[in-house]
Amino acid sequence: MPVAKRSQSTEAQLNMGGSASSSQEIPGPKTEANSTSKKKSAALSKQLSSIKALARGSDLEKAVATAVLVFYNAAGPDGRVSKGDAREILLAQFQTFTRGQESKPSYKEILADLGKDGDRRIAMEDFMLFIVGLTVTSDLLAEIQEARKQ
């Protein structure tokens, strides 16, 4: 689908090559990061329930709103997050999709892009493109497709 304007990180998403990057360990179920994640989950639920338009929203609308809230909860006053922070958010909160993908060139490209210029700040639109990129490269996608057949 054509896009009128593309940022550099968007171009990297669309031109996923095979650059290497080191894989990072993802916290397991009993880590402090996970307990913090549970607290943030409760806060997200409260934030979502405060959005009146979502009371009758679809599952997809609520899922997108959740991703947007995760981004903006981490964003600074400029409404952006650093690429390094975006990488950390995705590794911590998108674990099921990223686990086991470390050897895939497309996964490596996405994380390498997030690792470059880690202080550079990105907008929510770019963050969402990283989510889409990680989703379509994930092995979990095939499992999700199979679930719809049941």
CATH code where residue 130 lies: 1.10.238.10
Mean pLDDT rounded to a whole number for the chain: 78
Which residues, 6+ apart, have CB-to-CB distance to 74 below 8 Å? 81, 85, 89
- Please tell me the distance from the alpha carbon of residue 73 to that of residue 56, in angstroms, as a whole number: 23
Q: What is the mean pLDDT of residues 98-122?
A: 90
Residue written as token pair 């981490």? 74
Identify whether 19 is part of a domain: no
Identify whether 20 is part of a domain: no
Identify whether 2 is part of a domain: no
Identify whether 137 is part of a domain: yes
Residue among 44, 111, 102, 106 nearest 83 (CA): 111
What's the pLDDT at 49? 86
Which domain, by its residues, includes 48? 31-147
Identify whether 5 is part of a domain: no
- pLDDT, one tens digit per residue, over 27-57 is 333 344 455 555 666 788 899 888 888 889 9
pTM over 0.85? The answer is no
Percent of the chain surpassing pLDDT 70: 72
